[in-house]
C-alpha cells in the first residue's frame, strides 16, 4: 500500500478504495510510476490521484484529475483492480525498457485500446 499521500483531496482521505486504487496505479511498472514515500509523488513530481495543490506540468507528467479518479473508483469493482490491456508479459517488459518519449508514442498510438480495456471486467 501507498505509505503517504499528504496532498490527496480531503474527500478521498482515509478511504480504503482510494488507497487501493493508488496502489494499483503505482504497482507493476518501472521506477517512473513509483511514489516517493514522503511527498507521495513520482519522480516527475506528479501524482496518480487528485491533489489539493495546483500543479503545472508537461504532457509527460500530470496529476490525475478528480473526474478521472472518480471514474476509476466507480469502475474498480468491475475490473477488480486489474487492467486487461491485451499485452503479453514480453510486450510489457519491452515497453518498460523504452525511454519516456518513445513510451508516450506507443501509449498514444494505443490509447483507444487502453480506454476500451478499462471497460472490460477482469
pLDDT digits (tens, 9 = 90+) for 23-75: 888 887 788 888 888 888 888 888 889 998 877 766 667 888 888 888 888 87
- pTM score: 0.60
Residue 117 or 100, more confident: 100
CA–CA distances in Å: residue 48 to residues 37, 88, 89, 90: 14, 24, 23, 25
Residue environment code for 82-110, b if the CB has 16+ CB neighbours within 10 A, otherwise e: ebeeebeeeeeeebeeeeeeebeeeeeeb
Residue 106 or 61, more confident: 61
Q: Which grid cell is 48? A: 496518480
**Could you tell me if residue 81 is left (phi over 0), alpha (psi between -120 and 50 degrees) or otherwise beta?**
left
Say if CB 63 and CB 49 are below 8 A apart: yes
Q: Is 70 helix (H, G, I), strand (E, B) or coil?
A: helix
CA-CA-CA-CA torsion sign (26, 99, 41, 66): negative
CA distance 68 to 48: 10
Q: Is 8 helix (H, G, I), strand (E, B) or coil?
A: strand
Amino acid at each position: 500500500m501507498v505509505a503517504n499521500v499528504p496532498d490527496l483531496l480531503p474527500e478521498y482521505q482515509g478511504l480504503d478504495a482510494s488507497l487501493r486504487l493508488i496502489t494499483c496505479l503505482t504497482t507493476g511498472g518501472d521506477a517512473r510510476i513509483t511514489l516517493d514515500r514522503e511527498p507521495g509523488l513520482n519522480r516527475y513530481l506528479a501524482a496518480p490521484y487528485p491533489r489539493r495543490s495546483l500543479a503545472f506540468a508537461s504532457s509527460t507528467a500530470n496529476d490525475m484529475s478528480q473526474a478521472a479518479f472518480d471514474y476509476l473508483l466507480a469502475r474498480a469493482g468491475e475490473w477488480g483492480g486489474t487492467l486487461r490491456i491485451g499485452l503479453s508479459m514480453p510486450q510489457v517488459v519491452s515497453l518498460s525498457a523504452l525511454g519516456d518519449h518513445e513510451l508516450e508514442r506507443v501509449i498514444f498510438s494505443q490509447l483507444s485500446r487502453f480506454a476500451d480495456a478499462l471497460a472490460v471486467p477482469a
